[in-house]
Structure 1
Amino acid sequence: MSRIADIAAALAGYDPKALGVDAVQAFLAQLAEPAVLTQAERIALRDALGRVLAEDIVSPVSVPPHDNSAMDGFAFDGRLLEGLANDATVELRVVGTALAGAAWRGNVGAGDAVKIMTGAVMPAGLDTVIPQEFCSVEGESVRFPAKALRRGDNRRLAGEDLMQGKPALRRGEIISPAALGMVASLGLPMVPVLRRLRVAYFSTGDEILSLGELPREGAVYDSNRYTVFGLLTRLGCEVIDLGLVRDDPAALESALRRAASEADAIITSGGVSVGEADHTRAVMQRLGDMAFWRVAMRPGRPMAVGLIPTERPDRGPAVLFGLPGNPVAVMVTFLAFVRPALLRMMGCNDACAAPPPLLRARSVGAIRKKPGRTEYQRGHVQPVAGSLPEVRIAGNQGSGVLSSMVEANGLVVLHHDQGSVADGDPVDVMMFDGVI
C-alpha cells in the first residue's frame, strides 16, 4: 500500500467523505513526520529569532554565577532573626557597600551588615537582604522590624536560573525573544539551528486576477497568495511564490512539478472541489499519492493532502496541502491543520508543533450550531474585570468575507458534538496573536 493508504488504514473510522477535525490533525501529524528537517547550520544569535534548534544548548556556566542580591538594601547573616519576637527591632552596624559588578572584600563580624545593590555578589557569610524601604539609617547603624522578612529572603542563588552542564534549551524548540536573551546570558554568540523549511505556494483559477490587472466581470483579485505569504513568513519558512496558475491541466502539472523540485511542502488554494473546471484534483492524483477529503468543518470543507514526488535524488517527495479557494477557509484550514504540520516538518518538538491553546470566554449573544461538524466563527475577545473575557461574533461569517477576519482577534471554536450556544455560555477561542 501507499503511505497515504497506510496512514488512513491506521485511523479508526476513517471516512474521506466525512472526516472529523481530530482525525485530520492525527493524519497530518503522521504524514509530516518523515519530512522532519535534519540539515543544520550555526548562525549568529541575532539571526536566530524564530528558528528551530538543531541540538540541545547546554549551559557552559551557571546563571547567576554567584549568590547575589535581588534588592537594593542591606545584607546580613539571617541567623540573627532566629528566636526574635515578632515585634522585635533589629539593629546592625553598616561596615561597607557592595556594588554590582565587583565582589566586596571586607570583613563582616557578628551584628554587622553591608549595604548592597541589586545584582551585587553576596559577601561571604551573609545570606539575607532587607530592602532599604523597610530600614531607618542613622549614621553607621541600620534598623528594621524583624517581622519584615525571613532568613534567606531577597537572595538569588548561584545557578538558580541555569545550572552549568544542564540543558538550557532543547532540540526542537523555537527560539523566541526570551530564548535569545537566555542564550546571550550564557555568553554564546552562535546557535545551531535547522535550515528553514521551503514552502512553495500558488493560487489556481481562471476567475482570479493578479494585482495590477484591470477588473473584469466575474473576476476577483488574488488575496490568498498574500494571506499565505504572511502566514508562512510569520512561521519562519522560506517562501517560494509560484504566482497564479490558470485552470489548465498542463500549467497545473508544470507548477506542481516545479514546486516539488524546489520545496519541502506545497500549498495550493482552489481547485480541490468537484467542479468541472477544477483540474487540480485530477492532476494531483496523476502526479502523486493523494487523499481528498470532505472535512466535517465550516468553513473549509474540501481539502486535499498528499505527496508529490520529485526527480531529484537528494530530496524525498514534497508534502502537498490543497486548500479551498475561499479566503477565510484558507486561513482557517491553515491554522487548524497546515500550521501544526509545517511546524512538525520544521523539526519542532510536540509542544511547539501543537495547535494554539484555546482561551475560555463568555459568548455575547447566541450562536446557532448543529452537532456533527466543527465550526470556526470569527470573533473579537475583550477582557472583563473579575470574570471570563467576553467574545462577540465579528461581522458577516461568510467564507469569502475577509473583512470579518480583519475585525476578529480569534476564532470561536464550536466543537464537533457541540450544539447551539446561548447568550452568556462559555466557549473556546483560538487566539490569533503571533499567528496571523
Structure 2
Amino acid sequence: MAKAPLLEFSAARDQILQHAKHHTIPNSESVNLHLALNRIVAKPIMSPINVPSFDNSAMDGYVIREKDVKENTTLPIAGSIFAGHNGDIQWPKNTCLRIMTGAPVPNDAYAVIMQEDVKIADQQMSFDGHNVKAGQNIRRIGENITINTEIFSTGEKLTIPKLSTLAALGLNEVCVFKALKVAIFSTGDELTPIGEPLLSANSIYDSNRYTINLMLNALGCEVIDLGIIKDDLLSITQTLKQAADLADIVITSGGVSVGDADYTKKALEQIGEINFWKIAMKPGKPFAFGKIGHAFFCGLPGNPVSSLITFYQLVRPLILALYQQHTPSQQFTLKTISHLKKSIGRIDFQRGYLHRDHDGQLVVSSTGDQGSHITSSFNHANCFIILEKDRDNVKAGEYVTVEPFDSCLL
C-alpha cells in the first residue's frame, strides 16, 4: 500500500487557524496596569482625555505674539511661565514671556523661540523674525492623542511603551483576555528532569518542556506543567484526559512518530480526534493536531529543534489567533552568503543570522549544522531561512526567504 502523502505545511497552518477562528475566545478580566505587561487587549481602549490636554511649550524659551515678529526684534521680558502654572497669565502688549518646557502657552501665543536662538541683555530678548514660524515649539491640545479615539485594538499585546501610554492617559486598569491555560507534558522513559542527575548513560534531559514553558510565558499563557510521563499507553491516556479537563490547549513533546513506543498518537485516537499528523516540513515532520473534548491538542516531535520550530510555526499562530492577534510573520527576500544544504520534498526552516555585510547590505548566513538535534544552531540565530519544498541545495549568493524571530524567541 502506498504511503499517504505528507500534508503541506501551509495547509496544516491554515487548518489550525480555521479551527481557532471558530473556537470560543477566552473570557476577559480587568487588571491593574502594574499586572498588564504582555497581556492581550480584550476590547478596544479609548482615550478618556486629550494628550496634551492643553497647549504647552515643547522647550525652554520665549513666547511671542504674531504682531511682534519682525526682521530684528527686541522685546522686554515681562515675566515667566513655569510647568504646572494655574490661573491667568499676565502678558502685557509688546512684550515676551520666559516659558519653560511643559508650561501652558497663552491663547494668543504665536510661537516659542528656543532660548539658544535669542540674545538676552538688560531684561530684554532679541531675535531674528525671519526664522520664526507659526506654532513652532508649541505642542497643541490633542496633538498626540485625541479624546475618545481608539488607542489600542482588540488583540494587541500590551508592551512597556503601550502601558506607558495608558499611564499617561491616567488609566489604572485595562480589560484583557484571561490567560489561555495550556497543559504540557513530555513522554519518554529516557527523559530526566533538568537539575537532576541523569537516570542512566542512555538518558537525556527534558529540555523541550522547559523551552515550551518559556515560549508559552512569552505569549501570555498560564502553563500547567504535568511533568514527564513514562512510555505507557494507560498513563499517557489518563494524563491526556486530565490535561484536557484543565486546559484550553494540550501540548505534548514526543510520542507522535511511528515507533512501537510512541503512544501519544495511539492514546489520542482512543479519547480524542486527530485532524492531521505528519507534515511536509523539515525539521518537524511528526507533528499532530487534533482535539480532546473542548481542548486543542498539539503533539510536538521529540527532537529539540523540531519541537521548538513546530511550536513557533504552528502552535504559536494558534495561540495568537485565539487571542485575536493579527500578527502575520514578516518575510522578505535576501542574499545568503552561506551554502545551504537542502533536499527536494519538504519546506525547510533553517536557522540563520541576519546582519549587514561590509558594504552595509542586509544579508543572511547559516548558523551551522542544521540537524534536528543540534540546538546550538539557535544560539546565534535571529531568523529562519525558509527554503521551498521543491528547492535543492542553495549556493552562496542566491536569494532566499528570511523570517526574523519575534519576541517569542528573542
TM-score after normalising by structure 1: 0.86
Shift of 1:198: 0.4
| Structure 2 match to 1:238 | 222
| Structure 1 match to 2:58 | 70
Shift of 1:361: 4.8
For residues 28 and 92 of structure 1, what CA distance do their matches in structure 2 show? 70
The one-letter code matched in structure 2 to 1:53 is V
| Structure 2 match to 1:379 | 352
Q: Indicate conservation of the 8 Å contact 1:53/1:171, yes or no.
A: yes
Between Structure 1 and Structure 2, how many residues are aligned?
406
Aligned residue for 1:350, secondary structure, equals coil
Q: Indicate conservation of the 8 Å contact 1:270/1:323, yes or no.
A: yes
The one-letter code matched in structure 2 to 1:242 is L
For residues 255 and 6 of structure 2, what CA distance do their matches in structure 1 show? 19
Q: Does 1:262 align with 2:238?
A: no
Aligned residue for 1:216, secondary structure, equals coil
Deviations 1:183-228 (A, max 9, x none): 1111121111221110001111222223324342432111111111
Q: Indicate conservation of the 8 Å contact 1:294/1:301, yes or no.
A: yes
Name the stretch that deviates more: 114-123 or 373-382: 373-382
For residues 318 and 110 of structure 2, what CA distance do their matches in structure 1 show? 50
Query: Among residues 310, 324, 330, which one is paired with 1:348 in the alignment?
Result: 324
| Structure 2 match to 1:313 | none
Name the stretch that deviates more: 129-138 or 416-425: 416-425
List aligned pairs for 1:294-305, cutoff 5 A.
Answer: 294-305=278-289
Q: Does 1:278 align with 2:262?
A: yes
Q: Indicate conservation of the 8 Å contact 2:26/2:179, yes or no.
A: no
Unaligned runs of 5+ in 2: none
Query: Among residues 155, 158, 175, which one is paired with 1:175 in the alignment?
Result: 158
The one-letter code matched in structure 1 to 2:353 is H
Aligned residue for 2:315, secondary structure, equals helix
Seq. identity, %: 36
Q: Indicate conservation of the 8 Å contact 2:349/2:385, yes or no.
A: yes
Q: Indicate conservation of the 8 Å contact 1:16/1:292, yes or no.
A: no
| Structure 2 match to 1:10 | none
Q: 1:385 to 1:101 in 2, by over 3 A?
A: farther
| Structure 2 match to 1:105 | 88
Q: Indicate conservation of the 8 Å contact 1:396/1:404, yes or no.
A: yes
Shift of 1:389: 3.0
List aligned pairs for 1:78-227, cutoff 5 A.
Answer: 78=66, 88-103=71-86, 105-108=88-91, 111-211=94-194, 212-227=196-211
| Structure 2 match to 1:394 | 367
Deviations 1:18-70 (A, max 9, x none): 33332222111111223343422211110011111222222111111011111
Shift of 1:109: 5.2
For residues 73 and 346 of structure 2, what CA distance do their matches in structure 1 show? 68
Aligned residue for 2:22, secondary structure, equals helix
Q: Indicate conservation of the 8 Å contact 1:371/1:417, yes or no.
A: yes
| Structure 2 match to 1:59 | 47
When the two chains are superposed, the root-mean-square deviation of aligned CA atoms in Å is 2.4
Query: Among residues 297, 312, 315, which one is paired with 1:338 in the alignment?
Result: 315
For residues 8 and 394 of structure 2, what CA distance do their matches in structure 1 show? 20
Aligned residue for 1:296, secondary structure, equals strand
Q: Indicate conservation of the 8 Å contact 1:37/1:197, yes or no.
A: no
Shift of 1:101: 1.4
Aligned residue for 1:163, secondary structure, equals coil
Name the stretch that deviates more: 288-297 or 219-228: 288-297
For residues 433 and 385 of structure 1, what CA distance do their matches in structure 2 show? 26
Q: 1:149 to 1:332 in 2, by over 3 A?
A: farther
| Structure 2 match to 1:292 | 276
Aligned residue for 2:287, secondary structure, equals strand
Aligned residue for 2:307, secondary structure, equals helix
Aligned residue for 1:368, secondary structure, equals coil
Query: Among residues 355, 372, 379, which one is paired with 1:406 in the alignment?
Result: 379
Structure 1 stretches of 4+ moved >6 Å: none
Q: Indicate conservation of the 8 Å contact 2:320/2:326, yes or no.
A: no
Query: Among residues 7, 15, 19, which one is paired with 1:31 in the alignment?
Result: 19
Name the stretch that deviates more: 206-215 or 285-294: 206-215
For residues 388 and 126 of structure 2, what CA distance do their matches in structure 1 show? 62
Shift of 1:147: 4.4
Unaligned runs of 5+ in 1: 1-14, 310-316
The one-letter code matched in structure 2 to 1:176 is T
Q: Indicate conservation of the 8 Å contact 2:78/2:92, yes or no.
A: no
Name the stretch that deviates more: 142-151 or 263-272: 142-151
Deviations 1:321-376 (A, max 9, x none): 1111110111111111111111222x23324xx33x23665422222335543221
Q: 1:360 to 1:108 in 2, by over 3 A?
A: farther
Shift of 1:90: 4.2
Name the stretch that deviates more: 186-195 or 108-117: 108-117
Q: 1:334 to 1:107 in 2, by over 3 A?
A: same
Aligned residue for 1:302, secondary structure, equals coil
Aligned residue for 2:158, secondary structure, equals coil
Shift of 1:286: 1.5
Q: Indicate conservation of the 8 Å contact 1:56/1:167, yes or no.
A: yes
For residues 386 and 59 of structure 1, what CA distance do their matches in structure 2 show? 46
The one-letter code matched in structure 1 to 2:316 is R
